[in-house]
Structure 1
Amino acid sequence: MPKFVVVDLETTGHTPKKGDKIIEVGMVTIENGEIVHQFHSMVNPEQPIPSFISQLTGIEDQDVQDAPLFDEIVDEIVHLCQDAYFVAHHVQFDLGFLNHAIQETTGKSLDIPVLDTVELGRIMIPQAPGYKLAQLAEYLDVAHDNPHRALADAYVTAKILLQFIHKAKQLPYETLQQLSSLERKLKSDLHELLSNWMESKAFTIEERADLEIFRGIALKRNYEEVQRNVPEVEGFQPYLDHLLGNDGSLSKNMDRYEERGSQRIMATTIYDAFQSGSHALIEAETGTGKSLAYLLPAVYEAVTKQNRVVISTHTTHLQSQLLDKEVPLLHKILPFSFTSALFKGKQHYISLKKFEFELYHGTSDNYDITLTKAMLLVWLTETATGDIDEIQLPSSGNIFWRRISAEAEGYIDPKSPWFSRSFYQRARKQAQQADLLITNHSLLCTDISENYSLLASYNKLIIDEAHHLEATAAKHFGRKIDYVSIQYLLNEMGANSAGDWIYGLLSSYPEMALKHDITKWDELVQNAKEESDELFRFLFSYVVKQHNAHISLNDIGRYQYRFQNDQENPQTWSTVQEMTRRVSFYLRDLIQFLHKCKNWISLAETSEEASRWIEDIRMYMERMEEVIHSLDHLLLSEEESIVKWIEIEAYGAKNAVFLHSEPIEIASIMQDQLFERKESVILTSATLTMKDSFTFMMKRLGLEESSTIQQKIQSPFHYEHQVQLMIPNDFPNIKYGNQEDFIHATCEAIYSLATITRGRMLVLFTSYDMLKKTYSAMKEFIDQEEFILIAQGVSSGSRSRLKKNFQAFDQAILFGTSSFWEGVDIPGQDLTSVVIVRLPFQPPDHPVYKAKSEALKSQGKNAFMELSLPNAVIRFKQGFGRLIRSSQDRGVVMVCDDRIMKAKYGKYFIDSIPSIPVHFESTHQLMEEAKRWL
């Protein structure tokens, strides 16, 4: 086994060419699979250490003042690296920095093979939650007691490397061979290692029983689930007693279990709704334990009646929680067995057929795509689901995924060998056999809109996070299209150049290519691209020219313009429609071209390759038909019950245009297509009422009062002792153009409260624009070493990444809008205060709100009371709910908007949250009160 030297450096900065220096070196040597030597030295950089480096590493100037200079230890470092692989976590940084120092000192540099443990981690453990050293150490159960110190980091990296090598040696020969074909585009020099591992396997006939090799790709074998049994259970209440009592099964399987009356009430309400064939709206406040409360009657009903129950959630996070936590717990505690399955849309599952094609025929891959292929090869030896949500792809990998997802493969003949190995088909089969089927609102609404052709049949449904159902359904009964998706489709089919799909098709059938002039295809594709580019550029300039009063800025920074065909400038709109017809004309010509190709191949041969080409052709024809239908619906047709709008990226490309439509109301659609067709639908959430009334939600969703059970379940938490509501009475009035003054006052209040709570603060905005302005203002007057500011859309990373960063720092303030109002769970001492900057009313010029508002006014109704206020109250409840997540949590909610106290409608907000102490005083008095209380 070769020698590895694992290196970690601590430095004064990131750029040696600008004078940054090494301050600490840690080196760990591995030989014959064991750590045999460790080297450590502080280094005098002959310059002050920046304070942020000292804060990160704990290394101060006095720690290095008597340390050797780099030239005093360089020979030993070079000697340790001889005949070894140079290994580091982000190898380019450590090797680059070290080589710069060696070159300066000796005039030479290290020229040795390298291994990057970030890259190896992505490949060897693709299902890890993250690839920072601390994340990998935690995932692989490697103790990491002294992070950001050179020897400790090097030692942990070495232990992790040994686990990667062990894992690599367990991989089948075929996977190693595939990795070897990708190796030259990776950062790590893996060629010799892979060759050695393959050579050792070539002389053994031992095969892993858990894998099958199909067409050169190693796959985890598919094991069928155990069949269910029908239990003999006396009745639902004895069943609950067996599980939920203080001496029940749950108490024996959960730490610090406390029986919750609210959980039993909710479970019984759902059971009663199932038995009476009623629908139900259940608001279950935080702490109810609602997931188990609805799973218990769902499983009981499904198994005892042999009648599947579907559970739909809005977020994949909740789906994962149900499958990884609650469902395994139920398997342990229930007196009978049951089956469960998760079912998602086609875009979530890998297509092995498409992946095989890309593996053997894909060309001109960049680094991210090569890395993605390597990750997927290893993942396929482990995954039973083929669900991409199990792993985190690099950025370009997500684009590559679109080419290889089940959505991209189109129709598969059931006789095809790929059909029996299709992860999507496997998921469908499991869904059809499951007692409990877990899905998401998006797929549920797709199923409803496609006349129940996707999900396995069911007549009882539980919808969690039900306050999202209206918006999700509206999206699914509407349409959307954008310039990029059209261009992506045309580029995916390609032109007459090697590596493009159409080139592969026509070069596979030269006789057909002679009949169908390839230059004709190229011309049609080019025309379609140019015409769509012109159309979307024209729409962009049209929106920009509209008066500001007609345009709103949404919370992700896009401008929105609602359009109505009969109210636009007739001459201009006539041009838009003519351009739309031209795009559709060229797309129809492309469809016709492919139709002829499909017919020719069908008559010419019946091979597996011919079937694959026909499936691809059919898929591309369907996708182009879909684009034509969307353009026709959005820009040519006229429907009064539909709201349509255009979004543009204000500072983006001049064709960055997104077209949307939604039904103005979905109540009648949901009533006809869901509630009247299903026996019992349970809708639950922590936020369904306004002032204890479900009326708003029932009207919006189309539920009949006579057939709907309504139940509000109080939280078991003692809010009056856990949280204080504080509203300043001395803020400038934003109404009179004082936005700058208001932001300044907000910043001062945030800073004052943060000094009391030591950061640990979530600040919620209704406008992305105000978030950015507040963030910029805060950055100017606070000391970054005192508080770390993390802001959605400003700081890089996903919502979960920003949340993790927030929790990682001792004194941090997190700024969020849109998605941060809910679903962000920061329990315990990590969060002590929530600041709500403005009451969360939708902008009155938002296209959908505007259309709904006009419809209500035409019916003689008050749009503010019927629509705007209830939406804002429910959103406010979500924001308020971020603070108290357990019975031990304690903190302050500050609302910077005094309308909650001064406006007539303010009481709707206060009366819709738990009864807590309310303080309406000057900012100074509030801070004194917060200091005293906390």
Structure 2
Amino acid sequence: MTKYVIVDIETTGHSPKKGDRIIEIGMVTIVDGIVTDQYQSFVNPGQPIPSFITQLTGIRDEDVEDAPYFEDVVKDILKRCQDAYFVAHHVQFDLNFLNAEVERTGHVPLHMKVLDTVELARILVPEAPGYKLSQLAEFLNVQHDDPHRALSDAAVTGDVLLQLLQRGEALPYETLNSLMDLERKLKSDWSEHLRNWMNQQAFTVEERDDLEIFRGIALRKPVSDEDEPHVSFEGFEPFLEDTLGENGFMSKHLSYYERREGQEEMAHCIYDAFQSHDHALIEAETGTGKSLAYLLPAIYESVKENERVMISTHTTQLQAQLLTSEIPRLQSVLPFNFKTALMKGKQHYLSLKKFEYELQTSGRDNYDVTLTKAMILVWLTQTTTGDSDEIQLPSSGQIFWRRVSAEAEGYLDPKSPWFSRSFYQRARKKAQQANLVITNHSLLCADLVSEHQLLPSYGKMIIDEAHHLETTAARYFGLKLDYVSFQYLLNEIGSDKPGDWMSSLHASYPEMSERHRKSDWEKLMIHMKEDADELFRYLFSYVSKKKQKDISLNDVGRYQYRYTINDEHKEAWQAVTEMSERVLFNVRDAITYLRRLKEWITAAESSEEAKRWTDDLSMYMDRMESVIDSIDQLLLEDHEHQVKWIEIEAHGAKNAVYLNSEPIEVASLLKDALFDKKESIVLTSATLTMKQSFSYIQKRLGLEEAASTKQIESPFNYKEQVQLFVPNDFPDIKGKDQEAFIYATCEAIYSLATVTKGRMLVLFTSYDMLRKTYSAIKEFMTQDEFVLIAQGISSGSRARLKKNFQSFDQSILFGTSSFWEGVDIPGEDLSSLVIVRLPFQPPDHPVYEAKAEALKEQGRNAFMDLSLPNAVIRFKQGFGRLIRSSTDRGIVFVCDDRIVTKKYGKYFTDSIPNVKVVHDSTHHLMNHAKDWL
């Protein structure tokens, strides 16, 4: 008989030592999988309940005033816990808090075996989107009716536990055996469970068809590919009509399908570009259905001509949408098969070779590494891709992942026993055989600059979210170096501490260790760390002295200083040169040391173990060569067409320094490396034009010649669906009194939210203003009037914040940076959009400064040719958040009246769909909003 008591407590705060008390306890007893008892009681804490706890739990002072004190219920609680596992979601909090109360009332604290459902869920459901109880309940289809109430939470935790135990029981023997080796460093006492499950598996005759066991690790077998598509087409026009027409495949199979004129127009444009081997720029406004519009000509061209078509996106969100929604939908309706593959950078894929080694060396692992290993072991029974985006690693687990990724593996010899099972090689092979290969701008640009081919060859490509191509390309045509990354590399190689990579290498070859002493490496390591520390500290000091007059503090707390080596203070930069050369001298010595170790091992033996060590040595030498190249180019050489800048953490460590360089323009680089080499590249986005012209984006990307352009209008009736409000009574946005502007913004947000019942997205251009507005608007509100959700203040990812926003009736979402695009909130969930300031780039950003100077030297206007187009495109992205379907209606409120009062304001209003612009007092605008909505 196995008994579990699942406990959840609600409290006045987090610290019993500071006087916090329990206000409610819920307990569910499960014996052999059956609920045998439930217990719930309010507890009088003898103190007022804080308002935020009441807001979270719904428990008020009057609920507990007649409730028993903890002294009155403690014996009942202790009795229920006898001979049971103590189970809770975050078990340490509940057990420690409960024990503090037990001891306070003079009883002996509980000493029981514990199971933490957060930890067990991380291990047994590594693919879950999150591990809060509500997220897990939703993922596991467990009904959760009353969150943050003790008995409801305990009951849900019990249901989650039973599902987790079922999942554990189904794991193969080898996985359970490996988990057993890790169990003692975990929080949960589940060795008995693991042992029982292993005994069951040992006597199981049937083996799972979906798994294979290789070198003691259970792996999911890959799904075999479909046969090659064989189909003959009568032409693209009939194919498009057969697919999208009134009696086509889409309308026959999908009840919600609507035929869209713009979608078919866009598909024809792409097909024409492919046929004429032209490049094309297509702006497809919201509602066009551009994903389907480019997938159809891509599929047709690929299958008909038996050639690969590449599709590149900027965000993983769009990749996921294509792979989990759009492409499966087409595969279900089209009468022929086509193959798709996803291709990412090596850092995304697990190296089984590296992971096997790490499993064998678990002795010195901390808790986070142990947990991450356990998660990966279970995930390997599920994944066929080995892609880290499938698994929700803890933040510290990301550091471990760097040790076991395919990137850390370096070159994998085809003779390696792991080669045929390599996730990265499998992804490459699948991409070679696919009709459509989905990739991202980062890998596309990395492929353009890499000596080795990272993507399979292609002649035709569609680049979605193409407005991001320039900035991504600039990053990859540039360089980065920072102290933390360099230190990470040195620490990864390690020294003579037990468990370090270098120490393990010397221990494996004692004879080599006698000849190439560890102490020599230790001295080198000390010199490299000290000299690098001195260099980066000096750079920090150098920039700090410049900052008052040359640079400003940006939103994320970093100072950015643009430098040109030949223009820096000669004596001061001479010190940088000398320190850099000392670092280079030591790094070159380190490479020589590693090379000698590699030569010794290669000459001594040719075993699999030796190959693993020499592969690692090659990888570390390559990384150190990269450091040498970066220091050379960033600190010792001047490049006329590069912008270089140093970033320092304003309040960070004195060696937290980041060196950056980017080309001032990438147009010629993209032209040479991409557009001149490929048959047909189609670039698309909802935001490519300024004032209906493509000329700006064409110049920036090097596509001024031989590229066709097309704008596809939105099917939405913007005149009926949107009104643009601009107040005429706000304080001057450029005035010194920012507080007055923020106060006026708060009043407008609050007044408009009252009209729209929340359902508002507020977009900022800076975190600083977001934080100040968030704090100030709280003063306008009575408690519980609106739920405020703010990026950088409320916890959670962008997707989580958006979901929270949609789940509350009257909520306001504050966002900056990434919230200007890619956030899709259709329907009544969003009724108003507030744009606080026009999204101009800071004029002192190093890249902007350098580009502006280059334009001035060419006799061009930096504001009109650079600053304004960037701001207009960003504004269009923000504007596009409001209307996502033909039935949406809403108000866009722009606090920045320069959109009306300045001559350049027309560039903003003429670049968005034709909507009514109302420029009036805030009071009149609010009355107008009431009438219109």
TM-score bracket relative to the smaller structure: over 0.9
2:839 — aligned with what?
A: 840
Deviation at 1:784, TM superposition (A): 5.4
The within-5 A match list for 1:56-455 is 56-450=56-450, 453-455=453-455
1:548 — aligned with what?
A: 548
2:909 — aligned with what?
A: 910
Deviation at 1:371, TM superposition (A): 1.1
SS of the equivalent of 1:820 reads helix
Task: Tell me, yes or no, if the aligned pair for 1:314 and 1:468 is still in contact at 8 Å.
Answer: yes
Residues 494-535 of structure 1 show CA distances to partners (whole Å, capped at 9, x for unaligned) of 111111111111111111111112111111111111111111
Shift in CA distance, 547/98, structure 1 to aligned 2, threshold 3 Å: closer
Deviation at 1:229, TM superposition (A): 1.7
Deviation at 1:782, TM superposition (A): 4.0
Query: Aligned AA for 2:79?
Result: H
Deviation at 1:56, TM superposition (A): 2.7
Deviating above 6 A after TM superposition, structure 1's stretches of 4 or more consecutive aligned residues are none
Rounded to whole Å, the distance in 2 between the matches of 1:145 and 1:166 is 23
Rounded to whole Å, the distance in 2 between the matches of 1:366 and 1:790 is 35
Rounded to whole Å, the distance in 2 between the matches of 1:173 and 1:883 is 52
Query: Aligned AA for 1:585?
Result: F
Shift in CA distance, 255/91, structure 1 to aligned 2, threshold 3 Å: farther
Deviation at 1:785, TM superposition (A): 3.2
Deviation at 1:119, TM superposition (A): 1.0
Residues 270-318 of structure 1 show CA distances to partners (whole Å, capped at 9, x for unaligned) of 1111111111111111111111111111111101110100000001111
What's the RMSD between the two structures over aligned residues? 1.7
Rounded to whole Å, the distance in 2 between the matches of 1:255 and 1:514 is 75
Shift in CA distance, 534/794, structure 1 to aligned 2, threshold 3 Å: farther
Shift in CA distance, 337/400, structure 1 to aligned 2, threshold 3 Å: same
Task: Tell me, yes or no, if the aligned pair for 1:172 and 1:218 is still in contact at 8 Å.
Answer: yes
Residues 700-744 of structure 1 show CA distances to partners (whole Å, capped at 9, x for unaligned) of 111134x21211111111222222211111111132322222222
Rounded to whole Å, the distance in 1 between the matches of 2:837 and 2:798 is 21
Rounded to whole Å, the distance in 1 between the matches of 2:532 and 2:763 is 39
Deviation at 1:106, TM superposition (A): 4.7
Shift in CA distance, 763/363, structure 1 to aligned 2, threshold 3 Å: farther
Query: Aligned AA for 1:441?
Result: H
Rounded to whole Å, the distance in 1 between the matches of 2:557 and 2:787 is 24
SS of the equivalent of 2:616 reads helix
SS of the equivalent of 2:526 reads helix
TM-score, normalised by the number of residues in structure 1: 0.97
SS of the equivalent of 2:7 reads strand
Identify unmatched segments of 5+ residues in structure 1.
none
Task: Tell me, yes or no, if the aligned pair for 1:310 and 1:437 is still in contact at 8 Å.
Answer: yes
Query: Aligned AA for 1:570?
Result: K
1:760 — aligned with what?
A: 759
Rounded to whole Å, the distance in 1 between the matches of 2:801 and 2:586 is 44
Rounded to whole Å, the distance in 1 between the matches of 2:747 and 2:87 is 48
Residues 610-664 of structure 1 show CA distances to partners (whole Å, capped at 9, x for unaligned) of 0000000000000000011011111111111111111111111111111111111
Task: Tell me, yes or no, if the aligned pair for 2:826 and 2:885 is still in contact at 8 Å.
Answer: yes
Task: Tell me, yes or no, if the aligned pair for 1:280 and 1:681 is still in contact at 8 Å.
Answer: yes
Task: Tell me, yes or no, if the aligned pair for 1:52 and 1:785 is still in contact at 8 Å.
Answer: no
2:792 — aligned with what?
A: 793
TM-score, normalised by the number of residues in structure 2: 0.97
Shift in CA distance, 494/760, structure 1 to aligned 2, threshold 3 Å: same
Higher mean C-alpha displacement, 683-692 vs 813-822:
813-822
Task: Tell me, yes or no, if the aligned pair for 1:242 and 1:248 is still in contact at 8 Å.
Answer: yes
Rounded to whole Å, the distance in 2 between the matches of 1:291 and 1:338 is 16
Higher mean C-alpha displacement, 730-739 vs 370-379:
730-739
Deviation at 1:841, TM superposition (A): 1.0
Rounded to whole Å, the distance in 1 between the matches of 2:287 and 2:666 is 31
2:817 — aligned with what?
A: 818
Rounded to whole Å, the distance in 1 between the matches of 2:460 and 2:864 is 33
Higher mean C-alpha displacement, 585-594 vs 842-851:
842-851
SS of the equivalent of 1:736 reads coil
Shift in CA distance, 797/576, structure 1 to aligned 2, threshold 3 Å: farther
2:604 — aligned with what?
A: 604
Higher mean C-alpha displacement, 173-182 vs 220-229:
220-229
SS of the equivalent of 1:726 reads strand
Residues 790-834 of structure 1 show CA distances to partners (whole Å, capped at 9, x for unaligned) of 333333433333333333443333322222211122222332222
Higher mean C-alpha displacement, 789-798 vs 584-593:
789-798
Higher mean C-alpha displacement, 334-343 vs 826-835:
826-835
Rounded to whole Å, the distance in 2 between the matches of 1:253 and 1:307 is 28
SS of the equivalent of 1:684 reads strand
Shift in CA distance, 260/555, structure 1 to aligned 2, threshold 3 Å: farther
Q: Does 1:933 align with 2:926?
A: no
Residues 70-99 of structure 1 show CA distances to partners (whole Å, capped at 9, x for unaligned) of 333333322221111111111122222322
The within-5 A match list for 1:422-571 is 422-450=422-450, 453-571=453-571
Deviation at 1:561, TM superposition (A): 0.8
Identify unmatched segments of 5+ residues in structure 2.
none
Q: Does 1:621 align with 2:621?
A: yes
Task: Tell me, yes or no, if the aligned pair for 2:832 and 2:891 is still in contact at 8 Å.
Answer: yes
1:877 — aligned with what?
A: 876
Task: Tell me, yes or no, if the aligned pair for 1:555 and 1:766 is still in contact at 8 Å.
Answer: no
Deviation at 1:555, TM superposition (A): 4.3
Shift in CA distance, 148/767, structure 1 to aligned 2, threshold 3 Å: closer
SS of the equivalent of 1:562 reads strand
Residues 50-87 of structure 1 show CA distances to partners (whole Å, capped at 9, x for unaligned) of 33333333333443444444333333322221111111
Query: Aligned AA for 1:616?
Result: D
Rounded to whole Å, the distance in 1 between the matches of 2:505 and 2:221 is 32
Query: Aligned AA for 1:241?
Result: E
Deviation at 1:451, TM superposition (A): 6.0
| Identical columns (%) | 66
Number of residue pairs aligned between Structure 1 and Structure 2: 933
Residues 638-694 of structure 1 show CA distances to partners (whole Å, capped at 9, x for unaligned) of 111111111111111111111111111111111111111111100000000011111
1:35 — aligned with what?
A: 35
Higher mean C-alpha displacement, 186-195 vs 755-764:
755-764
1:896 — aligned with what?
A: 895
The within-5 A match list for 1:583-598 is 583-598=583-598
Query: Aligned AA for 1:924?
Result: H
Task: Tell me, yes or no, if the aligned pair for 1:310 and 1:461 is still in contact at 8 Å.
Answer: yes
